[in-house]
Amino acid sequence: MNSLRNKVQLIGNLGNDPEIITLENGTKLAKFSIATNETYKNAKGEKVTDTQWHNIVAWGKLAEIAEEFLSKGKEIMVEGKLVNRSYETNEGEKRYITEIKCNELLMLGK
């Protein structure tokens, strides 16, 4: 059960082409975001679509696959874990971000 404590599975569409970073040691990092949509009816009976954006990071072989095969608009499934981190802007402001560290990637659709 320990492996289920921090596990995320999402199906969504890429908002942009992946950003690929190659580190000094040759390891690749891919950063991209996917949108998930939920549709429901509000109290007035109107159809409402709620879109959520999720930041994804993929390392190594998964980053290479993302670089080669992923592009804006493609539907994918990602599995990974939630990671919280902080960083400091050039102006010295501390920011916090939640990302999904991708462990599996599946391309859907055509």
Q: What digits encode the pLDDT tens for the residues 27-81?
A: 999 999 999 999 999 999 999 999 999 999 999 999 999 999 999 999 999 999 9
| pLDDT tens by residue, 6-25 | 999 999 999 999 999 999 99
Q: In a 3-state reduction of DSSP, which class is residue 84?
A: strand
CATH topology of domain 2-107: OB fold (Dihydrolipoamide Acetyltransferase, E2P) (2.40.50)
pTM here? 0.85
What stretches of 1-110 show up as alpha helix (H) in DSSP?
A: 60-69
Residue identified by tokens 């990602």 is 78
Q: Determine the Cα–Cα distance for residues 55 and 35; give it in Å rounded to an integer.
A: 9
The H helix count followed by the E strand count for the chain is 1, 6
Is residue 109 within 8 Å of residue 74, measured between CB atoms? yes
Task: Please give the Cα distance from 32 to 80 (Å, whole number).
Answer: 14
